[in-house]
Amino acid sequence: MNHSLLEALPAEHRQRLRHAPPGRELAAHPMLATLSDRRDFEGGGWLFERKLDGIRVLAVREGDGIRLLSRTGKPLDGSYPEIVDALAGQDCTDFTADGEIVAFAHGRTSFERLQQRMQLTDPRQARATGVAVTYYLFDLLRLEGTDVRSLPLRTRKQLLRGALHFRAPLRFTSHRNQGGQQLLDDACRRGWEGLIAKVADGRYVSRRSPDWLKLKCEAGQEFVIGGCTEPAGSRVGFGALLIGYHQGGRLRYAGKVGTGYDHATLLGLRRRLDELAVSRSPFAEPVRERGARWASPELVAQIGFTEWTREGKLRHPRFLGLRDDKDPRDVVREEPQQR
């Protein structure tokens, strides 16, 4: 079936096709989006997809072998066994696809709810959480031994839709061809994280690219945890996380985060920070926080906030969860691409 999909392509597209490297090799360096404040998309040439609040996952199937990989190459098969089962049930036995795994709460994707699955590697424990997950697939890198990354995005999405059967827990990521600011406004009213704008005829490249733009409803990004403060009063675990980002080979301090934790998170995170304890601050500048305890900067947290202050600190930050799919060394301050 899938050979016919490739054979049905226009001649100019078939000429771009090449024999594909192994799927795991293709998945090692996914295409990444660039944060942008662009709102004017007049003139067409863009696709708009919903920005999902989950984790990036690449799916590799070669024969009976199926692997789910994070964007850093971490195996995730044990965390999401129902996704593995759904991919194993496909007629197509050779593909590498890109997508996002999410969990829903009250009709919206919830990174906090997904946290209950992210830290588990035993399939039985993952299923026992009762947290249902959905895998939204939005791109195709390899099909039946053929490298399709050089094809236009719109064509790759057509191949993806034709190659796989989309039944729960698999979903095809739909898109709009027009809208720009109006679509973003509607996404924000619905409580979505934002939109991803993609060049419709763009290729899939293994790097961060301006052909994919992140349009966010609310500020938020990953930060490295460099320590915490001691708890006060009835608080347990710790008072606030001390977080930062890399710039010029140094870890810059971005402020403290004291909200967004439940009881179990406070205790569990403190145990992990104690295991990473160091005697000196990992931050480049002085951090004058009472009761500060330092940690080797190896943990990455997803943080929501309203804005950056003039002093380079976060305003109204809140903890959303840990990210084990991001390399701490890659965490930098995200700056919107100017138009």
Q: Which residues are catalytic?
A: 51
Instruction: Kindly report the three-state secondary structure assignment for every residue of the chain.
Output: CHHHHHHCCCHHHHCCCEECCCHHHHHCCCCEEEEECCCCCCCCCEEEEEECCCEEEEEEEECCEEEEEECCCCECCCCCHHHHHHHHCCCCCEEEEEEEEEEEECCEECHHHHHHHHCCCCHHHHHHCCCCEEEEEEEEEEECCEECCCCCHHHHHHHHHHHCCCCCCEEECCCECCCCHHHHHHHHHCCCCEEEEEECCCCCCCCEEEEEEEEECCCEEEEEEEEEECCCCCCCCCCCEEEEEEECCEEEEEEEECCCCCHHHHHHHHHHHHHCEECCCCCCCCCCCCCEEEEEEEEEEEEECCEECCCCCEECCEEEEEECCCCHHHCECCCCECC
